[in-house]
Amino acid sequence: MAAQFNIGDIVWAKLSSFPPWPSKIVRPKKDIKKPKGKKPVYFVFFYGTEDHAWVKAENLKPFEEYKDQMIKANKGKRFHQAVEAVEAVLRKGGGAKRGRPPKHSASPKSGPYRDTDDIDHEEVVPSSKPVQKTYSREPLLGKTVSPSTSIGLKRPPESLGAEASIILKRPREDNESDLYNFDESEHETESDIVTSKDDITPTCLKIGFLGLGIMGSGMVRNLIKTGHSVMVWNRTPMKCRDLVQAGASVGGTVNEVVAACDITFGCVADPNAVRDLVFGTSGVLQSIRPGKAYVEMSTIDVETVQDVAESIESRGGRFLEAPVIGTRKPAEDGMLVIVAGGDRSLFDDCESCFLAMGKKAFYLGEIGSGTRMKLVANMVLGSVMAGYAEGMSLAERAGLDLQTVLDVFKEGPLNCAAVRSKGDAILHSRFEPSFPLKHQQKDMRLALALGDELKQSLPVAAAANEMFKRAISLGNGDNDMSSVYRATAL
């Protein structure tokens, strides 16, 4: 059972992707809404960052009881400055060490936050020095920062007080350890911390979406859920049925969708499919004119992206590349990472769509930058997956119990979503496609071609690519990428 805390208690608060941080339980303002969910939460102030956030009770620990353990685990300068700030407050009697009511609170309410009208925000005086924003850690809404900016989920002004920023601005310390004794929820995501998708205000523009595969169907469903007006098309019309029931309309052809919509998104399998979609009979290009915009979300090569961009722009349309990082589950949950390049005004116009489909969208600059970023990311993912598969195969050959191997991985620095999910798939030989192996091999091939073009040696990625090719030859192309394990277990 999670510990009970009072207003004013000094604690260690743990958010996803951050180490435990010296914090204080404070009262939220009346207009700051408690996040949805059944788990008890507290509103906390983070020393040294001037930030606030809702934190689950299970991710809070008493300050004094865990102080030595936390200080030993974290050597970062900003961390120790925050600890010193807490110690100064405690010396002055400005906080409770072990859950005792603070002296300045006449009648504190114990336990987690409840929706009551008589709770006022406890005043926390911010530092006199302005907080330096780190844009790789804080989502932005339509602000321009050169050369790259990002959009992330963020509460609108009417539901979030000026004092309370939900995403920490503090950059991660280079030497901060990821190994802490906090039980972090397996299902905690950035959206748990940031906001509900219900807070998104949909654009008034009509949205088109072409391609309803593993990724596209989940992305469209999130657009519909957040109130966007969406028209869809898919090569196999049957895949449109569920989305029509959810609220989408259907276009008979690709160019019919483009003609009817202000912004059209495309998400298909590979460069050839993109070229057919854009340049083919009744394709995207047929209906492009001034006022129309096209966003390519497929993972393809830079040359194809540039060809599509030039053709769209030559007809007066706007173009943005916006490939996504993530697989089936993040697409269904609206937690993809979007990496974009091209027309900046179109990136801004897509804000509500990106918030619906993803947890963060980065604007990287010129056309081709988003594709390069996606290829680098998937090349690293494929190389890691190949090494992981080899390690599991070696462990099995050495007589180790694979469940124990996974348990060890989950308790150490290898603990991440990929290790957990792909490891379980290997252990139980369940390779239903979250990200088909043939698509991963395609991305490896495209990344290697980019390396050849730039004269960059990529020996590890090249070796991993051979493993994926062998797995395809063994009949695993349509299985999940984790089935590359079958290329090693021979």
Q: Which residues are catalytic?
A: 374
- Of 226, 301, 327, 308, the closest CA to residue 265 belongs to 308
CA distance 221 to 253: 20
CA distance 385 to 383: 5
**In degrees rounded to 5, what are phi and psi of residue 294?**
-130, 135
CA distance 244 to 203: 20
User: CA distances (Å), 319 to each of 177, 277, 311, 347, 402, in order?
Assistant: 42, 15, 9, 9, 48
| Total residue length of the chain | 490
- Of 201, 252, 262, 198, the closest CA to residue 230 belongs to 262
Q: Which residues are CB-neighbours of 43 under 8 A, at least 6 positions away?
A: 25, 26, 27, 28, 32, 52, 53, 54, 55, 113, 164
Alpha-helical regions (H) of 189-261:
190-194, 214-225, 241-246, 254-260
| Region of residue 62 (left: phi > 0; alpha: psi -120 to 50; beta: else) | beta
